[in-house]
Amino acid sequence: VPFRVGEPALDLFPVDIWARLYARHARRGARDFLGYGHANGYPPLRRAVAEYVSAARGVRADPGQVILVRGAQQAVDLIARTVFRPGDRVWYEDPGYLAAAAILRLAGTSLVPVPVDAQGLRVDVGENSAADAKGVHVAPSHQFPMGSALSLERRLALLAWAGRARAWVIEDDYDSEFRYPGHPLPALQGLDAAGRVIYVGTFSKTVFPALRLGYLIAPPDLVDRLTHAAAQVDHLAPTLEQAVLTDFIEEGHFTRHVRRMRKAYAERQQALIAAVDREMAGLLRIEPADAGMHVIGWLPPSSDDAAVSSRALELGVEVPALSRYRLRAPLAPGLLLGFAALRPTAMTTALRKLRKAIEGGPAQ
Amino acid sequence: VPFRVGEPALDLFPVDIWARLYARHARRGARDFLGYGHANGYPPLRRAVAEYVSAARGVRADPGQVILVRGAQQAVDLIARTVFRPGDRVWYEDPGYLAAAAILRLAGTSLVPVPVDAQGLRVDVGENSAADAKGVHVAPSHQFPMGSALSLERRLALLAWAGRARAWVIEDDYDSEFRYPGHPLPALQGLDAAGRVIYVGTFSKTVFPALRLGYLIAPPDLVDRLTHAAAQVDHLAPTLEQAVLTDFIEEGHFTRHVRRMRKAYAERQQALIAAVDREMAGLLRIEPADAGMHVIGWLPPSSDDAAVSSRALELGVEVPALSRYRLRAPLAPGLLLGFAALRPTAMTTALRKLRKAIEGGPAQ
């Protein structure tokens, strides 16, 4: 599916290496990975994750703080059910990540939409509208869907508020590995002296989605409560896949694969921008993204992005409307275009259909 | 760990066959199992599950009603969050399965303890105390921990009540495959004409726990809502393991393995009963279990089972007290002894420690 948002480049994944590591472990001791075990996951992988997030993301993490989960969504779900109570107010980036909104609502919390701008979350607006909120869901490295990074000033303001309000900051760092100019921004968690940040990461984008492995780094005070919750809802036994992933990281394959993807994604983004400039001038204007796996394509000012998106879907092109991610923030009309999994051959046909969706009236 | 409740006989699992099937799939098309996919899981496995529960458990199931999950706990979690609202009253077997109680409470429901006897859940008591409850959690094939099977009369009464009250019946069929005299009892779901039963099964006991695969069979009216919830909390992409399990079932390995375990479990239970009769007469009286993976060992009438259990734990023997599973039902003192994973060599030492825990005063 061309342009699907969040779909990584599976064509680049080294399946041969993965299969070799798997076979090695299966030969050595498959029986060790059959039973129940510690709900926080395979201890060597928890160590490898702690080392990785410390080195690559500036997160302060002891292996004991690492809880392995099925992905960022399950992490937010566990956190929400553990630290919030029904009725608690929680700040939510507007526009923001819909799956997190759904999960926070499922836990009974009440979302307080807080707008974002070029410096990320408007902490001042959050404080004015709900200074006594119990938490915030935020993607400081790469706001979804707008793409901004939270500025240092805002980071400090957010942490200061969280300390005063004793609120929990859920830092969703879902695609921080893919930053094109310069170096990845360090995580907010590294600045947090008060233990208010719960850091969430995932291997769904950096390894492969079906692996269903992510992690959260809990502040020391929360480790026991989150471990207890993890054991209740989905006892994540140490599995062979976790052992394979440990080797994949420790033998350097992970870093090499991420580096290779980052290079390919930068190229794919450029190819997309060039093709749109060439073929769709006046209909769609793409703003280059510094990070992540999608760009925003701005439509002419009077367009109805939801209508364009649904016409495109009928033509087989999945480009969600920007307005879909809004709670109440005013937004110019736009579309989200994923470029990570985009192949040049598929792009031309997909852009032709997209042009039709933008130009056309209602689809038949 | 000798006597651990719920631990299957991992020594009997054919790891060689599993590894061979895995390697075959990894060679053929590992890349097909990397991405996101339908949240209900791998379609061929959903078909295999529908066939299995129809043939072996008398469940009426179309593959479209099968939702693959991580195990029985996650199934109950998904169901509770989908069909109940905070404050809803739900019948709960007393004594019963603690993990289900924890999950139902986490979803905000209020548990109504309903006693069990030799015919299973006392439906009449449930109706007298909360006829307007919104649901019930029940293990009709093999009540946990008491071991009774729900009689036909009670089954019909339970379904009649659920139909009148428009209540949801969560049928937890977690270890129904292990019935020693005669044939497994068909599932309650097969008797349900009104679509009120949500059937829950797991491969944690029949294949291996770390696989983290179970299933629920949703009534047609609930398929969409449960699918939506499944996609939100843990998108269970089709994985290589699901393809391997499909072959494991379709090539007959699953049935052979279950048959082999059933025979071994019957022998292990007999060996345990013989050893206890021989070595612990007057201290512990084991009631043979018709089904499942544990027996109840009754202590002398005036014993404090919680104290015995905690002394045993200090000596390295895990035998939970029966009183632990009680909400308010009066119960004679007893211990739960798992026998599925029990090896004769470990048994003698473990029984010696258990005797010490029963005879001894407070542990040091």
Residue of B11, B35, B233 lying closest to A73 (CB–CB):
B233
Check residue A364 and give its pLDDT: 41
B14 in reach of chain A (CB within 8 A): no
State the smallest CA–CA distance between residue B83 and chain A in angstroms. Answer: 12
pLDDT above 90 coverage of chain B, percent: 77
Q: Are B216 and B67 in contact (CB under 8 A)?
A: yes
A169 forms bridges with which residues in the sheet?
A: A136, A197
State the smallest CA–CA distance between residue A156 and chain B in angstroms. Answer: 31
CA distances A160 to A116, A125, A200, B77, B282, Å, are: 18, 14, 20, 36, 65
Q: Which residues in chain B are closer than 8 Å to A242, comparing Cβ atoms?
A: none
CA pair distance B186, B211, nearest whole angstrom: 25
Q: Which residues in chain B are closer than 8 Å to A12, comparing Cβ atoms?
A: none
Check residue A276 and give its pLDDT: 95
* pLDDT digit string, tens, across residues A328-363: 989 999 999 999 998 888 898 999 999 999 998 644
CA pair distance A18, B253, nearest whole angstrom: 26
Question: Does ipTM top 0.85?
Answer: no
State the burial class of residue A28 (Cβ atoms within 10 Å of its Cβ: 0-12, 13-18, 19+).
exposed
* pLDDT digit string, tens, across residues A162-182: 999 999 999 999 888 999 987
CB pair distance less than 8 Å for B70 and A7: no
Q: For residue A98, what is the nearest residue in chain B, using CA coordinates?
A: B232
Check residue B1 and give its pLDDT: 76
Q: Which residues in chain A are closer than 8 Å to B239, comparing Cβ atoms?
A: 210, 212
Q: Are A18 and B30 in contact (CB under 8 A)?
A: yes
Binding-face residues of A in 82-101 toward B, CB within 8 A: 86, 99
CB pair distance less than 8 Å for A73 and B236: no
CB pair distance less than 8 Å for A35 and B209: yes
CA pair distance A184, A140, nearest whole angstrom: 11
Residue of A13, A36, A232 lying closest to B34 (CB–CB):
A13
Residue A327, C-beta contacts closer than 8 angstroms, at least 6 positions apart: A92, A94, A95, A96, A101, A111, A113
Structure tokens at B53: 């529960």
State how far Cα A15 lies from the chain centre.
Answer: 23
Extract the residue ranges of chain A whose pLDDT is less than 50. 362-364
> pTM to 2 decimals?
0.89
Q: List per-residue pLDDT tens for chain B, 364 residues long.
A: 789 898 899 889 999 899 889 888 877 777 778 887 788 999 999 999 999 999 999 999 999 999 999 899 999 999 999 999 999 999 999 999 999 999 999 899 999 999 999 999 999 999 999 999 999 999 999 999 999 999 999 999 999 999 999 999 999 998 889 999 877 789 999 999 999 999 999 999 999 988 889 999 999 999 999 999 888 877 677 788 899 999 999 999 999 999 999 999 999 999 999 999 999 999 999 999 999 999 999 999 999 999 999 999 999 999 999 999 999 989 999 999 999 998 888 898 999 999 999 998 644 4
3-state secondary structure (DSSP) of residue A23: helix
Check residue B364 and give its pLDDT: 41
Look at the alpha carbons of B248, B252, B256, B261 in this order and tell me if their dihedral is positive or negative: positive
Residue of B15, B99, B209 lying closest to A31 (CB–CB):
B15
Check residue A238 and give its pLDDT: 77
